[in-house]
Chains A and B, each alone.
Chain A
C-alpha cells in the first residue's frame, strides 16, 4: 500500500483566528500586524481581501497601507493563535494518530490505510476541510501525496480552500514547471546559486546530475535531487518532547538600551516564557545561556550550568547573573535572548537530598507551587491574566 500523506495548511491563519472572534473583519481587507511604533511594524498575516490589493506577509506596514489604505489592522495575540492551533491539531488528531506539526499553522498527517474509515483521499481531505471550517471557522488547504515533501508542495498549489493531489504520475506536469523559489526547502541563497547555473525550474533541477549537485551543495544537494524527483524518505515524526534540545526566547527591543535594570525585567519576561514551556513539557534543563546583540549587531553569548530546573525564578537568576557579569559598559543592547538547554525529562529520577529535603526543598516547593498556579491560570484564562509584579508596566 503506497503511503498517503496529507499536509494541512491553515490559510491566513492569524487573521482568520482574529476573524473568528471579531466578525467585523469579515469581507474587509484586514491584517494582523506588529505595532507600527516598534521595529516589528510589519504585516504578519493579511487576509485574502487585503492580498487582493497586493499586501503580502512580512511587508513593512507603511508600504502595505499605501497599497490598501482602508485595511484594518489587528495587533497580534500569539497566545490566542496557539490556542486555536491546538484546537486544529486536536481536530486533526481525530483523523490519524501519526501527525507531525510543522509550524503553528500546518501539520503533516499520515493517512495511509484510512480509506475504510474516511473513503478516498480527496473525500477525506474534503471532510477535514469542512470540519475545520464548520467547527472552528477557519480555512485550510490540503496537499495529498506519497511523502511529506510532495504533500507540502501540493498544499501550496491551490489556496485558499484547495485540495490538491500530487501523485508520482503528476510530478512531471504539476511539480516540474514550478520555479525553484516555490520549492519547499530551497532558500534564497540556494535559488540564486542554481539560477546562476541556468536552472530556474524544478524540472531543470531534476535533470541535473546527482553527483554534480552533491559536489555543489553537499548533503543538501542530494536532498534537492531527491525532492526534485518527488522522493522524500523522511518519516512523519509525531512531536514528542523527546526531541526538544533546548528552549529559547529572545526579543528585539523597541529601542536599544544600556540600562541593566531594564534588561533584567525583559529577561524575567523571557525566563517566564521558557519556564512555562519547560513545565508544560515536563522538562528540566541544566544549562542557561544568554544572548545579547549589540547596537553594532555583534552577537554575544555566555552560558552557565545550574542544577536541573524549570523554575522561572531559577532560570531568571542564572540568566541575571550572566547578564550582570557581561553587561557592556560602552555599547547599547538591541536584542536580549535566553535559553534553557541540557533538557532532561522532569519525570526522570531525582535523587533526593537530606538537607535540601528539609530546608532548600521547602523554598523550592514554594516557587514550584507559584509557577504551577500561574501556569494553570494562564492556561485557562490567557497569558495576561496573571504576571509578576516586576513585569507590570506603567501606563504610558
Chain B
C-alpha cells in the first residue's frame, strides 16, 4: 500500500475512528487503526467489537493495499506531524514508513488479516433522518441511560421507527427520557425496534454533522449500521426486552399541577441547592425539596454537616400546589439538556412521576421520579 495525502485529511480520518480503538489488551490487533487504500480513497477503520467506525477521505493512491497501525501511537504521531504532504507506505513486516518534509519515520503494525471485517447489514430504511436532529435527540436522551451493567437493556437507548416517527428512549428506572424525531422519506410501514448501547450513540452524536444532512439507518440481525456521508458506524445491538415505556408515562389528563419556570433560573438555584444536598449515606440521594404554591417555587435542601439553603423563584402555577422531593442530579440533568428558555414541570403527586419539557414543544420529555420521604 502506498498513498500520498495531506495532514488535515489524515488527521480527520484518524480522529473520527480513533474512539472505536479498543483499549483492552485481549486482542492486540483491536488496538490498531486499519488503513486501506482503494479506488483513490483511504479508508480508516477501528473497532472494539462493541462498535466499529469507518470513514474515508480522497487521496492519491499509488498502490492499493492495507495496513493496521497501533491506534494510540499513530494518532498521537499524526497530530504532531507538520502540515503538508505526507506519504504512507507499508513495509514487509506489517509496519509502515511515513514520510514528510525531509524526514521519515517507521511504525510497526499488525497483520491486517487478523483485523475483523466490517459486518454486512441489510438494506436500509427508505429515507433518512437529519443528522443535526439526531445529534440533539441523542444528547437529550442519553443522560437517562443507566451505567449498571447488571441490567443491560437500561444501558442502551431504545430506538423505534414507525411511519414518520423516530423515537429514542432511555431510562435508568429513576428517570426516563423520550425524544420523537421526524423520519424523512418514505413511511416506515412496519414498526422496527432496537436497543443500541448508549455509549455508541454518544459516539455517533459526536461524529455526525451539525447540519441537516441525511443520516441513513440500516438494521441488521444483531447489528445496526448508521451512515452519515463518508462515515459509517456499526454497532452491536443489546439483546433483551425493553420494558413498555408507554405504560409509565402518565396520561396528560392526570397531571394536577403545571409549573412554568425559567430554565436558567431553576438550573442556577438547583446547582446551589445540590451543593448542600450531599448525602453521605450509601444511598447517595442528594435530595432537594420543591414546593410550589401561588406564584412561588420554594427550593430547599440541607446537609446536616454542611448547611442548608432556601430559595424562592417566581413561577406560573396552574392547578394544585405541591411539595415534592427529587434527587438533585436527576433534576440537574433534565435542566441541562432540555434546551428551552422556559419549561413546564408537570406533576401528579409527591409520589408519582413528573414530566419536564419545553413549553413550546412536546417532542422531548424528561420523566422524573420523586424520592419518597416518609
A interface residues, Cβ below 8 angstroms from B:
286, 342, 344, 346-358
Which of A286, A346, A356 has a CB less than 8 Å from the CB of B282? A286
Closest to B330 in A: A351
Whether B248 is near chain A, meaning CB under 8 Å from some CB there, is: yes
Contact B374 A352 (CB under 8 A): no
What are the interface flags for B219-244 relative to A under an 8 Å C-beta threshold, 1 for contact and 0 otherwise? Answer: 00000000000000000000000010
Which of B247, B371, B373 has a CB less than 8 Å from the CB of A358? B247
6 extra interchain contacts, Cβ-Cβ under 8 A, other than A347-B373, A350-B373, A352-B369?
A: A344-B283, A346-B374, A354-B243, A355-B243, A358-B247, A358-B248
Which of B22-30, B79-87, B112-120, B170-178 lies on the face that meets chain A? B170-178
Whether B325 is near chain A, meaning CB under 8 Å from some CB there, is: yes
Whether B372 is near chain A, meaning CB under 8 Å from some CB there, is: yes
Whether B359 is near chain A, meaning CB under 8 Å from some CB there, is: no
> In whole angstroms, what is the CA distance A353 to B370 when docked?
9
> In whole angstroms, what is the CA distance A54 to B37 when docked?
102
B262: min CB distance to chain A, Å: 27
Contact A349 B248 (CB under 8 A): no
Contact A344 B174 (CB under 8 A): no
Whether B156 is near chain A, meaning CB under 8 Å from some CB there, is: no
> What residues on B are CB-neighbors of A355 within 8 Å?
173, 243, 248
Contact A352 B281 (CB under 8 A): no
Contact B176 A352 (CB under 8 A): no
> What residues on A are CB-neighbors of B373 within 8 Å?
347-350
Contact B371 A350 (CB under 8 A): yes
What are the interface flags for B324-339 relative to A under an 8 Å C-beta threshold, 1 for contact and 0 otherwise? Answer: 0101000000000000
> What residues on B are CB-neighbors of A342 within 8 Å?
282
> In whole angstroms, what is the CA distance A349 to B174 when docked?
14
> What residues on A are CB-neighbors of B287 within 8 Å?
349
Contact B285 A349 (CB under 8 A): yes
Contact A349 B283 (CB under 8 A): yes
Contact B325 A356 (CB under 8 A): no
What are the interface flags for B244-282 relative to A under an 8 Å C-beta threshold, 1 for contact and 0 otherwise? Answer: 000110000000000000000000000000000001011
> What residues on B are CB-neighbors of A353 within 8 Å?
173-174, 369
> In whole angstroms, what is the CA distance A258 to B373 when docked?
45
> In whole angstroms, what is the CA distance A382 to B367 when docked?
46
Whether B353 is near chain A, meaning CB under 8 Å from some CB there, is: yes
Contact B327 A351 (CB under 8 A): yes
User: What size tier do the contact residues of chain B reach?
Assistant: 20 to 34
Closest to B325 in A: A349
Given A353-B174, A358-B248, A344:B281 Cβ within 8 A: yes
Contact B353 A354 (CB under 8 A): yes
> In whole angstroms, what is the CA distance A171 to B370 when docked?
60
> What residues on A are CB-neighbors of B371 within 8 Å?
349-352
B247: min CB distance to chain A, Å: 7
Whether B187 is near chain A, meaning CB under 8 Å from some CB there, is: no
B15: min CB distance to chain A, Å: 38
> In whole angstroms, what is the CA distance A347 to B325 when docked?
14
> In whole angstroms, what is the CA distance A348 to B279 when docked?
11
> What residues on A are CB-neighbors of B370 within 8 Å?
352
Given A286-B282, A344-B282, A352:B247 Cβ within 8 A: no
Closest to B370 in A: A352
Contact B282 A354 (CB under 8 A): no
CB<8 Å pairs between A and B, sample of 23: A344-B281, A344-B283, A347-B373, A347-B374, A348-B281, A349-B285, A349-B371, A350-B373, A350-B374, A351-B174, A351-B285, A351-B369, A351-B372, A352-B351, A352-B353, A352-B370, A354-B171, A354-B175, A354-B176, A355-B173, A355-B243, A355-B248, A357-B369
A309: min CB distance to chain B, Å: 14
> What residues on B are CB-neighbors of A354 within 8 Å?
171, 173-176, 243, 248, 353, 367, 369
> What residues on A are CB-neighbors of B247 within 8 Å?
358
Closest to B281 in A: A344
> What residues on B are CB-neighbors of A346 within 8 Å?
374
A133: min CB distance to chain B, Å: 41
> In whole angstroms, what is the CA distance A347 to B287 when docked?
14
Closest to B369 in A: A352
> What residues on A are CB-neighbors of B281 within 8 Å?
344, 348
> In whole angstroms, what is the CA distance A346 to B283 when docked?
12
> In whole angstroms, what is the CA distance A226 to B75 when docked?
72
A279: min CB distance to chain B, Å: 13
> In whole angstroms, what is the CA distance A319 to B66 when docked?
58
Closest to B373 in A: A349
> What residues on A are CB-neighbors of B367 within 8 Å?
354
> What residues on A are CB-neighbors of B283 within 8 Å?
344, 348-349, 351
> What residues on B are CB-neighbors of A358 within 8 Å?
247-248
> In whole angstroms, what is the CA distance A254 to B25 when docked?
57
> In whole angstroms, what is the CA distance A353 to B175 when docked?
8
Closest to B171 in A: A354
B99: min CB distance to chain A, Å: 58
> In whole angstroms, what is the CA distance A344 to B373 when docked?
13
Most chain B CB atoms below 10 A, which of A352, A354, A357 = A354
